[in-house]
């Protein structure tokens, strides 16, 4: 009987379900939020797929070059510290085993010319599995209409 109980206890600790698409996508979103708050341009740029489509709040065109996505974050994160982009609400739609859509609201904050600012907005991420990694393949953020 003791062997059966030990076996059941061991099984309950080792049978956790593997992460699914939603969990992987939310992990990428969490890492994005942390990298933004840390003004870590390298970390945030690495979350984007090489063929990502990017439309930041200040973008005037769809950005498709990884170097241009990196430059966008260099300008946005390194000149307005401390930064944050808290996701205030989100909705997740699993599109397939390899793609997830996350849309919601966020509040981008920082300091510009010594003055704190807050820029509420709408944000959309499409996060997809590329090889063994999950990457952002589409990003769009726009300011909240007044």
Q: Is 51 within a domain? A: yes
Q: Is 81 within a domain? A: yes
C-alpha–C-alpha distance, residues 56 and 63, integer Å: 9
C-alpha–C-alpha distance, residues 28 and 146, integer Å: 30
Q: Is 20 within a domain? A: no
Confidence of residue 18 (pLDDT cuts 50, 70, 90): confident
113 in helix, strand or coil? coil
Scanning the structure block, which residue is given the tokens 């007044």? 146
Average pLDDT, integer, range 126-133: 98
Nearest to 130, CA basis, from 17, 19, 21, 18:
21
State the total domains in the chain: 1
Residue with the bigger pLDDT between 146 and 49: it is 49
Q: Is 12 within a domain? A: no
Q: What is the CATH number of the domain that holds 112?
A: 3.10.450.50
**pLDDT at residue 1, rounded to an integer:** 47
Q: Is 10 within a domain? A: no
Nearest to 35, CA basis, from 95, 89, 77, 93:
77
Q: Is 112 within a domain? A: yes
- Map 38-58 to HEC letters: CCCHHHHHHCEEEEEEEECCC
C-alpha–C-alpha distance, residues 32 and 27, integer Å: 9
Average pLDDT, integer, range 108-125: 96
Q: Is 138 within a domain? A: yes
**pLDDT at residue 114, rounded to an integer:** 93
**pLDDT at residue 66, rounded to an integer:** 98
Print the domain residue range for 107. Answer: 25-143
- Condensed to tens digits (0 to 9), the pLDDT of residues 87-115 reads 999 999 999 999 999 999 999 999 999 99
CB within 8 Å of 38: residues ≥ 6 apart: none
Confidence of residue 7 (pLDDT cuts 50, 70, 90): very low
**Is the confidence at residue 15, as pLDDT, over 90?**
no
Average pLDDT, integer, range 22-44: 98
Average pLDDT, integer, range 80-91: 96
Q: How many CB atoms lie within 10 A of CB 83?
A: 18
Q: Is 15 within a domain? A: no
Average pLDDT, integer, range 10-18: 56
Q: Is 97 exposed, middle or buried (0-12, 13-18, 19+ CB in 10 A)?
A: exposed
**Is the confidence at residue 130, as pLDDT, over 70?**
yes
Percent of the chain with pLDDT over 70: 89
């Amino acid at each position: 009987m003791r062997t059966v109980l030990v076996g059941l206890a061991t099984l309950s600790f080792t049978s956790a379900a593997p992460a699914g698409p939603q969990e992987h996508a939310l992990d990428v979103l969490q890492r994005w939020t942390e990298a933004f708050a840390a003004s870590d341009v390298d970390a945030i740029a690495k979350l984007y797929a090489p063929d990502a489509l990017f439309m930041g709040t200040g973008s005037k065109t769809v950005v498709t070059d990884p170097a241009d996505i990196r430059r966008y974050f260099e300008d946005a994160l390194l000149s307005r510290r401390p930064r944050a982009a808290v996701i205030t609400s989100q909705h997740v739609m699993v599109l397939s085993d390899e793609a997830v859509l996350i849309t919601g609201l966020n509040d981008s904050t920082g300091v510009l010319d010594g003055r704190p600012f807050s820029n509420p907005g709408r944000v959309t991420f499409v996060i997809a599995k590329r090889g063994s990694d999950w990457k952002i393949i589409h990003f769009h953020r726009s300011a909240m209409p007044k």
